[in-house]
Amino acid sequence: MRIYLPATWPMLARTVKTGNFEPLGGTAFALTPKLRESYTAGDDEELEYAAMNEAARASLRLLAVEFGLGEDDTPARRVVVSADTDDVTLRPDLDDGAVRVTGPVPLSKIAAVHVDLPEAEHAVREAAGAVDTADLGDMDAEFLVGEAEDHELAWYDGTELPFLVELG
């Protein structure tokens, strides 16, 4: 199963250093039956994209925590790690596409990494500060999150991860 793991730049650096991606709280997103049911139309590719977007929004939440802890050197870029594993369980208590990953994901199972480009950093920083309020229905905050989500994530092959981190 293809899963989408929300991440931040420091998490990518740790992955390169240790050879394993450690999903925070074991949370990932995937094309689950519940996600499929929540859409009236769309093929698998479109629904996989929806799962990846859920992970990108979760990446904003991770950035909000890092910035709140004073980690201002963290690049303000959403990061989503795509991996292939069957070691997941469904999480119907969370978002439609949420799954739980048991344990770390080896670097060898990472298929791709999706990252904002530098020109998205201002919008992402603003969105990270507003994502919780947006989740509660604040339209102004939702606008800020939408501004970040208007930026497409760049795609890198999983084998490029060490070079991506090095170039930062």
Let me know if residue 164 belongs to a domain: no
* Residue 54 domain flag: yes
How far apart CA 101 and CA 22 sit, in angstroms, is 9
Average pLDDT over residues 115-135: 95
What confidence tier does 86 reach under pLDDT thresholds 50, 70, 90?
confident
Range of the domain at 37: 2-158
Q: What is the pTM of this model?
A: 0.93
Structural domain includes residue 99 = yes
Is residue 114, in this structure, part of any structural domain at all?
A: yes
Distance CA 150, CA 147 (A): 5
Residue 167 lies in a domain: no
Residues 6+ apart with CB under 8 A from 113: 12, 79, 80, 81, 82, 155, 156, 158, 160, 161, 164
What is the tally of structural domains in the chain? 1
The answer as to whether 69 is a domain residue is yes
